[in-house]
Structure 1
Amino acid sequence: MFLPVNKKDMEDRGWAQADFVLITGDAYVDHPSFGTAIISRILESHGFKVAILSQPDWKSTEDFKRFGKPRLGFLINSGNVDSMVNHYSVFKHRRKRDVYSPGGKTGKRPDRAVIVYSNRAREAYKDIPVIIGGLEASLRRLGHYDYWDDKVRRSILMDSRADILIYGMGERAAVEIAEALDAGIPVAEIGWIRGTCVRSKSPDIQEGDIVLPEFSEIALSKESYCRSFAKQYRSNDSVLGIRLIEKYDKNNYVVQNPPQEPLEQEELDMLYDLPYMRDYHPSYEKEGGVPAIEEVKFSITANRGCFGGCAFCAITYHQGREVRARSKESVVKEAGLLKQQKGFKGYIHDIGGPTANFRKPSCRKQERHGMCQQKDCLYPEPCSQLEVDHSEYMDILKTVREMDGIKKVFIRSGIRYDYLLADKDQSFLKELCRHHVSGILKVAPEHISPGVLKNMRKPAKEVFEQFSDKYKAINKSLGMKQYMVPYFISSHPGSSLKDAVELAIYMKKTGFIPDQVQDFYPTPGTLATCMYYTERDPFTMEKIYVAKTEEEKKMQRALLHFNKKENYSLVKKALKKAGREDLTEVLLR
């Protein structure tokens, strides 16, 4: 049974009042791949009544009063994606499709949705607590560079006027806030919960707290911005993390409490065992449904967190580097549920997560002492303390694929090939090729230039080539014709036109012509975005080249699609500008 989406649904349940109204910029999809579903269902499991206000009309307060005044508060997110990323391409062109809206139609949510929804909710009921969360709020929790305004913006707490911001994976924090409000504690006094940020007029600065550079400093000085980012990055750990305090003016501060501890296996199993409907709300059927469900409807999330540390990825700042995984029993149980879903044809599209072949913390030391602050688990090469083991993952995949009614189990989540190669037992790669590739394996070397890879925090080109050779050899030994398609990023911080030319020549020689090229997109919260804005590595303060003009970005992109006729003139221009006109015939013949 779906949660109430209107007053009649509430009345049918016998509710006089909802405890919380959850406002979201996405259409309502009750599936555990959607944050709205997870937060609403876990609150429901703790006895709270949650109503869903999806994609409300933000031009007035009328829609925000649909359920009447909530007893405890409004919970607000922009949806599964930052609303600005949802609306605009990297070249800031308006997107023509929104897969999180009915029928894929655009215009169902405002720009900067969390700010707009929060202010409308506050106008509707001035005395009701407003709690914001989700990706948009999480990545904008402190002063941050905003690509669309091309400036440093304030914490989203300031512009939304919300009472509390939940960052990261917010299940535990949401329940703790709900219980505190239910106990009668005023929202202004709920300032201690891990995984949250609050506004304060005069924070009680304690020994050990980190006072970040003031907002006025980071808005004007890129060096100060780097120092602030580095402190935030290193404190984003449940073991080592401490309170961060950012000052705005004499009587305005934002206080970030330490991160919540990651959910352990039992808690994750419970979370995915909640009574999700696993589909979009039936009211969207007449509009063609919600396209985003198609990618995840027959997939299983088996883990969360990622210690890969890619500079361009927001997972580090949102989910964190601490990996946790569901039990085999929980994954197998969900596979059984998928078999009962309408439209299931025997194919499970994915069993994975941010990185499919991560199943546990990177090392034993990390669980007790936190993530290393001065080095990465995999970059520039796997740490000597890294524990590499694919046996449990292989066992889960084998058990699921041998279930009655299951024809094939694919792996669509990213595979870290450097982690795979670090495993002394190479059985997993053979299992992957034999059972879990749909003819084409997608991998993400991202680039081949040493300088660019350094700024990406990705392994050297030779590691990718070693993996590629092994993949080909195993498929040959199995008598299987399967291919590999690499993903590359253009215009990443550190990538010059010469680096893009180097990558294009590499692709020409190897025959790796990418199906897709991803332009680097400076989204809030990532290390690479800090590099893009400041043109520095925030940990070393080393200067970094950044392609910022639209012309150069288009040239770098065109070089990676040199085989397309429509890119001929741009590629020729790029080669001339890079001083490599000698390569014109090589690339364009």
Structure 2
Amino acid sequence: MNIPMTRSDMVERGREYLDVILITGDAFVDHPSFGTAMIARVLESHGWKVGVISQPDWRTNEDISVLGKPALFFGVTSGNVDSMVANYTSTGKKRRSDDYTPGGFGGKRPDRATIVYSNLIRQVFKETLIILGGIEASLRRFSHFDWWSNRIRKSILLDSKADLLVYGMGEKPILEIADKISKKREVPTDVEGTVFWSSSKPAGIELPSHEEVSQDKRKYFEMTKVMHEETDPVRGRQLFQLQDNRYVVQNKPPKVASEELDAYYSLPFTRRVHPVSLSRGRVKALETVRYSVTSHRGCYGQCNFCAIAFHQGRTVVSRSEDSIIQEISAFTRDVGFRGTVTDVGGPTANMYGYECSIKEKVGACAKKRCLFPEVCSSLKLDHSRYLNLLKRIRKIPGVKHVFVSSGIRYDLILKDKRSGRDFLRELLQKNVSGQLKIAPEHTAQKVLEYMGKPSKDVLLDFLKEVRLVSSGKCHIIGYFIAAHPGCTKEDMMELKRFVKREMHYNPEQVQLFTPTPGTISTAMYFTEMASENGDPVFIERSTGGRNRQKEILVRKEILDRKPDKNVEGTGNKRNKRDRH
């Protein structure tokens, strides 16, 4: 049955009141890829009465009060995307469309939606508890650089006047929060994966204060590094930061087991837009993921520009093969299913099924990364489990095609000497439709180092491997970033020459770097430093300069030749000193 969104829905479900009401800046899509649906279903599966208010009009009090006052708390999220990213382009212009809104119209969620919704609730229900969650709140849990206003803002917990913040993936914390509030009717401060405020100084590691990081750029970088290093479910310690006369306190993240993920994804999602949201128009964001499956969470890539490791964690937790098979078998009976599973993956598809045993026991290394500058030897790479999973899925009655649309790390494929080549061959033959999409992001060595990405030599080796395995028949498309800290026009020209010479096409999928809260690259952008040591780094700040970097890569040129099938002659004159 559908989660209630109206009073009549509540009557139909026999509910006079709701325990929890979730507010979201998205259309309400009852699919496991949408955070609001996942939290709603998890709470409901444990007996709580849950309702959802989708994209309330923030100019009045009418929508926010449509379901009444919850017995326990309001849960507030901007939706699956940050509201500022949803509302503005990478050049700061207002977007006209929004894939997460019925009909695709822009402007249906306010800027800084989490704060606006929370303040709206406070106007109507002064005594109720408010719990923040989702990507927008998670990345703003401490002081953060806000690119859109070009200043350091305080924790969103304080700006929103909320009672508690859940960061990362919130299923496990939200269940504990609901249970404790129901028993004591007060905000719990001991739940892993949460942030609260305190008037007294707590124990743990003290971050530089809000005042310090606002005035001292080295302090800002120091804070960012510590946050990344300590956000670990095994060895992470409590963090706290003074903001005015209060302390913002972060508990370490929870450790989630594979069996728990299996349970979350086994819940009765309809995989459809809720009828109330659908009555306002179709929701484009569902179309590409309706028949996709999440196989795992977390990413040990730790790319400096990416928030996934900071949000989901650096430990990869994989679902069981049986759980994934059961989910797909269930939606093959859907009347809209045409035989294609559009994706089986996660933040990085080929991280499924293996992890570092040391990390699982003692936590992620504080001063060492799993994949940069090269793949750690403690990470026992093995693509065989993922390979077998894809084979099993293809045998499910009704399944005709299984695609991998999530990104892949080509350095992991090359490093896996046991099953990497078999996986690549199977991927190219069975799981992509003529084009393999990868994300090198750049090829200039110093830019790659600022990004925390593999060297150009690794990419060249992978291109060579693809041509060997596919006999030159597979076309590779790359995702690239322009105007990242440290990147110049000359670097973009170097990238352009590389793509033309080695990949043989004109790039179109180029992203302008946007300094979103919480990332190392954003710390670089704000501080103009490459690290907390103060090493200077070039930053392209002007809109014109940023656009010119992108234009260098995307402008059309006549390619002078077709891909060279003689793989032995491809890229073998590169400078070996560039290797990490």
TM-score normalised by length of structure 1 = 0.92
Alignment partner, residue 343 of structure 1 = 336
Letter in 1 for 2:484: H
Identical aligned residues as a percent = 45
Unaligned runs of 5+ in 1: 566-589
Query: Amino acid of the residue matched to residue 41 of structure 2?
Result: R
Is residue 2:407 matched to residue 1:414? yes
CA deviation string 1:146-203 (max 9, x = no partner): 110011100001110000000011111100110001112412xx11111111111113
Moved more, 350-359 or 278-287: 278-287
Number of residue pairs aligned between Structure 1 and Structure 2? 555
* SS of equivalent residue, structure 1 residue 396: helix
> 230, 250, 256: which is aligned to 2:250?
256
Q: Contact 1:201 / 1:252 at 8 angstroms: preserved in 2?
A: yes
Q: SS of the counterpart of 1:528?
A: helix
Structure 1 residues 134-143 or 99-108, which shifts more? 99-108
Q: Determine if contact 2:467/2:473 at 8 Å carries over to the other structure.
A: no
Task: Quote how far apart the aligned CAs of 1:357 are.
Answer: 0.6
- Whether the aligned pair in 1 keeps the contact of 2:54 and 2:277 (CA below 8 Å) is no
- CA deviations over 1:245-301 (Å, ceiling 9, x no partner): 11112x31111111111x211111100000111110123444431110001101111
Residue 193 of structure 1 is aligned with which of 191, 194, 206?
191
Distance 2:461 2:505 in 1: 15
What does residue 210 of structure 2 align with?
215
Cα drift, residue 562 of structure 1: 3.0
**Partners of 1:160 and 1:119 in 2: CA distance:** 6
- 2:491 corresponds to 1:493: no
Partner of 1:560: 553
Q: Secondary structure at the match of 1:296?
A: coil
Aligned match of 1:450 in 423, 445, 451? 445
Query: How far off is 1:430 after superposition?
Result: 1.0
Kindly provide the amino acid, as one letter, of the partner of residue 38 in structure 1.
M
The aligned amino acid for 2:433 is S
In the TM superposition, what is the alpha-carbon distance from 1:375 to its structure 2 partner?
A: 1.3
- Distance apart, 1:360 and its partner CA: 4.1
Query: In structure 2, how many angstroms separate the alpha carbons of the residues matched to 1:360 and 1:431?
Result: 17
Give the residue type in structure 2 aligned to 1:247.
Answer: L
Change over 3 Å in CA distance of 1:398–1:247 after alignment to 2: same
Q: What residue in structure 2 maps to residue 77 of structure 1?
A: 77
What secondary structure sits across from 2:351 in the alignment? Answer: coil
Structure 1 position 512, deviation (Å) = 3.6
| Runs of 4+ displaced beyond 4 Å | none
- SS of the residue 2:453 aligns to: coil
Matched, 1:321 2:314: yes
Specify the alignment match of 2:51 in structure 1. 51
Asked if structure 2 preserves the Cα contact closer than 8 Å seen for 1:361 and 1:367, the reply is no
**Which SS does the other structure have where 2:52 is aligned?**
strand
Q: Distance in 2 between matches of 1:509 and 1:265?
A: 44
| 1:241 Cα deviation from its structure 2 partner | 1.1
1:184 alignment counterpart: 184
- RMSD across aligned positions (CA): 1.3
Q: Secondary structure at the match of 2:349?
A: coil
SS at match of 1:473: helix
| Residue 505 (structure 1) aligns with | 497
- Which residue matches 2:463? 468
Q: Which residue of 2 aligns with 1:376?
A: 369
CA contact 1:504–1:562 (8 Å) conserved in 2: no
Alignment equivalent of 2:379, drawn from 383, 386, 401: 386
Q: Is the 8 A contact 2:299 2:348 kept in 1?
A: yes
Say if 2:269 is the partner of 1:276: yes
In structure 1, what is the equivalent of residue 222 of structure 2? 227
> What secondary structure is seen at the aligned counterpart in 2 of 1:92?
coil
The separation in 1 between residues aligned to 2:17 and 2:404, in whole angstroms, is 44
2:521 is the counterpart of 1:528: yes
The aligned counterpart of 1:483 is: 475
**Cα distance in 1 for residues equivalent to 2:557 and 2:276:** 43
CA contact (8 A) 1:229 1:538 kept: no
Does the C-alpha gap of structure 1 residues 459 and 293 become closer, same or farther in structure 2, counting only changes over 3 Å? same
Moved more, 267-276 or 424-433: 424-433
Question: One-letter code of the match for 2:288?
Answer: E
Compared CA separation, residues 91 and 564, structure 1 to 2 (3 A): farther
